[in-house]
């Protein structure tokens, strides 16, 4: 199903914010948004239910992540909820091999239907991302990057994925301006001994006096 009015609105909003979104990606973005919003009436998947917030928050976050992903990377969206940012990354970068993980069964079923309705070939896994990652420690299906947004504090993420840090390449986590407090708390709890944590990008949040920060977590090189 085409959404010409929504296509035009999303394209205009992206242009107004100066977001680097290829024109060819806009129909898929609008198909996804339309399906997401329809499902959201039955199940709370997102608070970004209009073009302005969808583009300024969800699309903007995905656009900020894109430059930090190499061509052909295998990416897992951890705790995807309604599909952000994983679905958007798959649309903006068709070369990526994106999969989604969601531990809440009803949300996993919903996002499976959303990507099907939008005509997107993105695989959805129902269950804990840690188990999926641990099951692929080597070989062509090993995850290069785990992307995480609005799932848990850094300390909790490190508790989940620190013990299996050899099974994946790195994490890219979208955080707010107070991410350093979470890092310091994780360091105090002894959770950062085997990893490096650094901010690799930041971008303003429209309508708020703060910014989003992209944090990279990577296993320390063996000495």
What is the tens place of the pLDDT at every residue in 60-92? Answer: 999 999 999 999 999 999 999 999 999 999 999
pLDDT of residue 1 exceeding 70, the answer is no
Quick one: DSSP state of residue 58? I
Spacing of C-alpha 175 from chain mean position: 11
Is the predicted pLDDT of residue 49 greater than 70, yes or no?
yes
Q: Which residues of 12-48 are buried (b: 16+ CB within 10 A; e: fewer)?
A: ebbeebebebeeebbbbbbbbbbbbbebbeeeebbeb
Give the burial string for 93-120 (b: 16+ CB within 10 Å, else e): beebbbbbbbbeeebbebbbebbebbeb
Residue 79's closest CA among 117, 111, 115, 35?
Answer: 111
Report pLDDT for 4. 80
Q: Which CATH class is domain 55-219?
A: alpha beta
Asked if the model's pLDDT at residue 210 lies above 90, the reply is no
Q: How confident is the model at residue 208 (pLDDT cuts 50, 70, 90)?
A: confident
Q: Does the pLDDT value for residue 27 go beyond 60?
A: yes
pLDDT of res. 6 = 95
Q: What integer is the mean pLDDT of 189-203?
A: 94
Least confident of 118-132, 150-164, 178-192, 208-222: 208-222
């Amino acid at each position: 199903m085409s959404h010409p009015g929504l296509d035009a609105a999303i394209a205009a909003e992206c242009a107004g914010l100066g977001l680097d979104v290829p024109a060819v990606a806009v129909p898929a973005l609008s198909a996804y948004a339309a399906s997401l919003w329809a499902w959201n009436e039955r199940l709370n998947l997102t608070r970004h239910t209009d073009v302005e917030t969808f583009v300024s928050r969800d699309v903007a976050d995905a656009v900020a992540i894109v430059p930090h992903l190499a061509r052909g990377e295998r990416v897992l969206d951890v705790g995807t909820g309604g599909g952000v940012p994983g679905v958007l990354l798959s649309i903006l970068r068709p070369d990526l091999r994106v999969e989604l993980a969601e531990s809440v069964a009803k949300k996993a079923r919903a996002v499976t239907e959303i990507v099907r309705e939008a005509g997107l070939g993105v695989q959805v896994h129902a269950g804990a991302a840690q188990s999926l990652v641990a099951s692929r420690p080597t070989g062509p299906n090993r995850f290069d990057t785990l992307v995480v947004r609005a799932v848990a504090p850094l300390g909790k993420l490190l508790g989940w994925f620190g013990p299996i840090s050899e099974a994946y390449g790195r994490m890219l986590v979208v955080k707010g301006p107070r991410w350093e407090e979470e890092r310091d708390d994780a360091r105090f709890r002894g959770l950062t001994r085997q990893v490096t944590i650094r901010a690799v990008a930041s971008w303003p949040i429209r309508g708020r006096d703060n910014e989003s920060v992209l944090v990279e977590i990577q296993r320390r090189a063996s000495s």
